[in-house]
Structure 1
Amino acid sequence: MKNFEELVASVTNWIWGPPMMLLLLGGGLFLTVRLGFFQFRYLPHVMKETFGKIFVKDDAPGSVTPFQATTSALASTIGAANIVGVPVAIALGGPGAIFWMWVVAMIGMASKYSEVVLGVKYRTKNEEGEWVGGPMHYIEKGLGWKPVAVFFAFFLMIEIVASTMVQSNSLSQTVESSFNIPPLATGIIVLVLVALVTLGGIQRIGSVTEKFIPLMVGIYLVSALIVLGANVTEIPAAFALIFKSAFAPISAAGGFAGAGVAAAIRWGLARGIYSNEAGMGTAPIAHAAAKTEHPAKQGLWGIFEVIVDTLVVCTMTALVVLTSGAWQDVTADKASTMVVTALSNVVGTGIAGTLISICLFFFVLSTVVVIVFYGEKQAEYLFGLKFSKIMRFVYLAAIIAGAVGGLQFIWQFLDLMLAMIVLPNVIALLFLNGEVRELTKDYINRYIKKENKEQEQTHSVGK
C-alpha cells in the first residue's frame, strides 16, 4: 500500500507541476486574448455591476439571486487555503510568489468568466423545477461529448468524498487543539449543520451563504487589519519586496531558507490556481441557478469572485505575514501558523488562536455545505434525482470519517481526481471559446454600449 501511495503521490506531483500550470495558465491567457482582454477593458463596468449591485434583486429566470449564486461559489473557494496556503507559498517561493499569484488571478478571470457564461447558457430545469448546470451540461450540449461529460461528473462526484473528508479533518484538528473538543463531536456538529442547510437545496444554501460569507470574510479581514495597523509603516516595504523578489532570487534570512525566481513562479501560480478555482469547473454549478437576464451578466460575478478571493483576501494574508516578519520568524515546515504568529504579536496567543480558529470553522463549514451540493448535482446528472439524495448521505458520512481521521489513503487521490475534472473542463472552455466570445460581444452591444450612450446623452443635456 505504501508503494502504491508513493506512486500516486509522484504522479500527482508531476501532473500538478508544469503540465497543469501550462494548461490552466495557457488556457486562461488564450481566453483573455480571445475575449479582447475583457476583464481589464471593462473592469469599471464589472465593479459597477457586482460590488455596486450586491443588494439588488433580479426578477430574471433563476432559482437564486446573482449575489447568492456568487456567495455559494465563493464558499468553496474562500477557505482554509487563504489562511494556510498563502504563507506556505511565501515560505517555499519567497515574497515574489505573491506577484505571480496576482498574475494568474488576473488571467484566470477570463477562465472563470467563461465557465460561468457557459454554465448559464446551457443550464436546464430538473424534476424539482430548479435550474441546474455546469461543465457536464456544456460539455454534452455544447460539444456533443457525452462520454467526456460523464467522465467529468463521475470524477467530481467521487472527488467530493475525499475533499469533504479533508475539510472535516482539518477543522476537527484545529478545534481540538484550540478548544480541546473531541474530533467526533466536531464531526457530528458539522454533519448536523451541513444537513440542515443542504436539505433546503440551492435556495437555502444561497440564503445562508449570502449572510455567512460576508460575515466570515469580514471577521478575517478585521483580524488582518489589526496586524496591518500595528505594522502600517512596513506596508510599502512589503509591496516593494513582492515586486523585487518576483524577478530576482531572495537570500535566506531567519527561518526563511531563501528562494529563486523559478520557485516564486511555481508556488505563486499554484497558489493562485488553487485559491480561486478558475478553470476547475465548480463555480458554474452554483452560478447556473442564478436569476439573470444574460449569461455574460452573470459571468461578471465570476470575475468578482477572483477579485475577492485572490486579490483581496489572499493579498491581505500575504501583507500580514510580510509586514509582521512572520515569514522570517517561522520555518517552512510550520508555515501554516504564520498568520496566528503575526496576530499573536499584537493581541496575544490566546485571542489570536481563538480568532483564527473561528475563521477556519466558518470557512470550512461553508466550503463543505457547497461542495456537498456540487457532488449531489453530479450524481443527479449521472443517475437521476433519487440517487443524488443517496449521495448526500454518503457525503454526510464522509464528514464523520474525515473528522476522526478515517480512510486517509483516499486523501492521496484528492489532487489526482481534481486533475481529472480540470482537464476536460479547460479543454471544453477552449473549444467553446467562440460561443463565449459571441455572448460577450452581444452583452457589450446590448448593455455596455447602450449604457455609455445614455451617459453621453445625459452629459450633453447637462451642458
Structure 2
Amino acid sequence: MDLLSTMKKINDIFWSYILTFLLCGTGIFFTFRLRFVQVRKFKEGWKRVFGGLSLKGERAGKDGMSSFQALSTAIAAQVGTGNLAGAATAIVSGGPGAIFWMWVSAFFGMATIFAEATLSQLFKERVDGEITGGPAYYISKGLNNKYLAGFFSVAIIVALGFMGNMVQSNSIGSAFSTAFGFEPVIVGIIIAIIAGFIFIGGVGRIASVTEKIVPIMALFYLLGGLVILILNYTNVLPAFKMIFVGAFKPEAVLGGAIGVSVKQAIRYGVARGLFSNEAGMGSTPHAHAVAKVKHPGEQGTVAIVSVFIDTFIVLTMTALVILSTGALNTGVTGIELTQNAFSMGFKSLGNFGNIFIAICLLFFAFSTIIGWYFFAEANVKYLFGTKHLNIFRLLVLICIVVGAALKVDLVWELADTFNGLMVIPNLIALIFLSSKVSNSLKEYESLKQDYIDYE
C-alpha cells in the first residue's frame, strides 16, 4: 500500500467519525451556550468590519494591530485554496451536497470561532516585547497544561507552517502551469522569494500587506463569479437544488453508479469546510489575539463575520460557478475543475477563465501563506522565543518551493491529517474554558454602548 492510500484510509476514519463529531458538536455546544451568538451579534460584527474598512490603517507593531488588520490576516488565511481547489474536490468526492454540509459546519463554526477569538484576547501575552497569543497560550494558562499546549504548537507548526503552505504553493504552481505553461517549481521559487521579504518585515509588514490584498482580491473574484452567474442565470436555481437534494440523496443528483453516499457528502463537506474557514482548528485566534480592542467580545463579533465571508460568500460563489457551468462533468478535480468552470463561463473570451483563476489563486493562496506563517510563527515564539525565527523562516520557504512540485492528492491528504491533529487539543481547551467565554460575553453585553462604540 502506497503512502497516498494509507493517508486516505487514516483520514477517512479521522474525518468521517472522530472530527466530524467533535467539530460539529463543539459548534452546536457553543451555539446554545452562547445563545446563538452568531445570529445575535452578526449585525454588530458586520458594522465593526466594514466600519473599519481601510487599505492603509495604522502601522502594526509590538502592541498589536488594528481590529480590521487582524480580521484581514485571519481572512487571508481562511480565503485560500479551500475556497477554490477545496470546494472543487469536495464536490467531486462528496457530490454537490457536500456544499450544504459546509454551510452547516460553518454556521455552527461561527459560534466556535467567537469562543476562539475571545479566549485568544483573554490570554494574550507579551513575548520578547511583542504582543502574541493563540491556543497554546489559553491552553497553557487557562488549562494549566503545558504538555497539551506544546503538542498543539508542534502540530500547527507542521500543519500550517510546513504542510499547509505546501498545499498553497502546490495550487499556485498547478494553476500557473495550466494557464501559462510555467514550470511549477519555478513559480514556487518566485513565491518563496516574495514571501521571505514579507516574513522578514515582521507583524508590521504582514498586517500592511493583508489589509490591502484581502479586500481587493475578494472583490475581484466575486465580480468575476457574479458575471458568470448572470450569463448562466437559468442554471443558478438548479445548482442550488443540486446542493440541497445532494445533501440527503446524492444518488438523485449524480446517479447511483457514482457511489457517493450521505456519509461522504458530510465527510468531505466538513473536512473541506474546516480547511476553508478554519473554525475550531485553532489557527485564526493567533490573528485575533493581537487586535487592539477595548474588550475581548469585540474581536469575537468580528471573527464571526470572517467565517461568513469565507464560506457563505466566497466558497459558495466557487460552488455555484462549477455547478451552473456544467464543469462537474469534465472529469477533473481540484483547481483544474475550478479553472474549467471559469473557462466555460468565460468561453467567449478564449483562455481568460484559466488566467482569471490563476491570478485569483495567486493572491488567495499567497495571502494564506502569509497568514499561516504568522500563525505558525506565534507558536515558534511560544516554544523557543524569537531566537530561532530565521531557521523557521528558511524551512517554510523550502516547503513552499518543494510543495509547488508535489502531487496534489498526497499534499491534500497530508494537510487533512495534520489539520486534524491541531483540532483536538484546541477543542479540549474550548470546552473546558467555555465558562470564561460565556462570562466574557455576558460582561461585554452589559457594557454601555458609549464604551463599545462600533458605529
Q: TM-score, normalised by structure 1?
A: 0.89
Aligned equivalents of 2:199 and 2:384: distance in 1? 19
- Alignment match, 1:230: 231
The residue correspondences of 1:175-254 to structure 2 (distance < 5 A) are 175-251=176-252
Distance change in 2, residues 1:97/1:448 (3 Å):
farther
**1:111-130: per-residue Cα shift (whole Å, max 9, x none)?**
11111111111111121x32
C-alpha deviation, 1:322, in angstroms: 2.1
**1:250-272: per-residue Cα shift (whole Å, max 9, x none)?**
43559993744333333322232
One-letter amino acid of the structure 1 residue matched with residue 428 of structure 2: I
**1:107-163: per-residue Cα shift (whole Å, max 9, x none)?**
000111111111111111121x32100000000111101111111111212222122
Aligned equivalents of 2:448 and 2:20: distance in 1? 34
C-alpha deviation, 1:338, in angstroms: 3.3
Distance change in 2, residues 1:253/1:272 (3 Å):
closer
- Alignment match, 1:380: 381
Asked if structure 2 preserves the Cα contact closer than 8 Å seen for 1:108 and 1:278, the reply is yes
C-alpha deviation, 1:301, in angstroms: 1.6
Distance change in 2, residues 1:323/1:400 (3 Å):
closer
2:138 matches 1:138: yes
- Alignment match, 2:155: 155
Aligned equivalents of 1:166 and 1:87: distance in 2? 15
C-alpha deviation, 1:370, in angstroms: 1.8
Aligned-pair RMSD on alpha carbons?
Answer: 2.9
One-letter amino acid of the structure 2 residue matched with residue 45 of structure 1: E
C-alpha deviation, 1:16, in angstroms: 1.8
Asked if structure 2 preserves the Cα contact closer than 8 Å seen for 1:377 and 1:388, the reply is no
Instruction: Count matched residues.
Output: 450
The residue correspondences of 1:299-338 to structure 2 (distance < 5 A) are 299-327=300-328, 329-331=329-331, 333-334=332-333, 336-338=335-337
C-alpha deviation, 1:385, in angstroms: 0.7
2:107 matches 1:106: yes
Is there any run of 5+ residues in structure 2 with no aligned partner, and where?
A: none
2:344 matches 1:345: yes
- Alignment match, 1:460: none
Aligned equivalents of 2:330 and 2:382: distance in 1? 46
2:65 matches 1:38: no
Aligned equivalents of 2:395 and 2:341: distance in 1? 39
Worse overlay, 73-82 or 168-177: 168-177
Aligned equivalents of 1:59 and 1:215: distance in 2? 19
- Alignment match, 1:459: none
Aligned equivalents of 1:259 and 1:15: distance in 2? 18
Asked if structure 1 preserves the Cα contact closer than 8 Å seen for 2:171 and 2:335, the reply is no
The residue correspondences of 1:116-127 to structure 2 (distance < 5 A) are 116-127=117-128
Asked if structure 1 preserves the Cα contact closer than 8 Å seen for 2:153 and 2:379, the reply is yes
Distance change in 2, residues 1:382/1:48 (3 Å):
same
One-letter amino acid of the structure 1 residue matched with residue 143 of structure 2: L
- Alignment match, 1:65: 66
C-alpha deviation, 1:28, in angstroms: 0.9
The residue correspondences of 1:417-436 to structure 2 (distance < 5 A) are 417-436=418-437
Aligned equivalents of 1:163 and 1:298: distance in 2? 25
One-letter amino acid of the structure 1 residue matched with residue 141 of structure 2: K
2:265 matches 1:264: yes
**Bigger CA radius of gyration:** 1
Asked if structure 1 preserves the Cα contact closer than 8 Å seen for 2:42 and 2:304, the reply is no
Distance change in 2, residues 1:451/1:300 (3 Å):
closer
Asked if structure 2 preserves the Cα contact closer than 8 Å seen for 1:94 and 1:250, the reply is no
Aligned equivalents of 2:112 and 2:452: distance in 1? 25
Aligned equivalents of 2:248 and 2:7: distance in 1? 33
**1:15-73: per-residue Cα shift (whole Å, max 9, x none)?**
12211110011011111111111111232222222233324979999421111111111
C-alpha deviation, 1:429, in angstroms: 0.3
Is there any run of 5+ residues in structure 1 with no aligned partner, and where?
A: 456-463
Asked if structure 1 preserves the Cα contact closer than 8 Å seen for 2:170 and 2:408, the reply is no
Aligned equivalents of 1:248 and 1:180: distance in 2? 40
Distance change in 2, residues 1:247/1:407 (3 Å):
closer
Asked if structure 1 preserves the Cα contact closer than 8 Å seen for 2:76 and 2:214, the reply is yes
C-alpha deviation, 1:430, in angstroms: 0.4
- Alignment match, 2:49: 50
Worse overlay, 183-192 or 220-229: 183-192
- Alignment match, 1:391: 392
Worse overlay, 109-118 or 318-327: 318-327
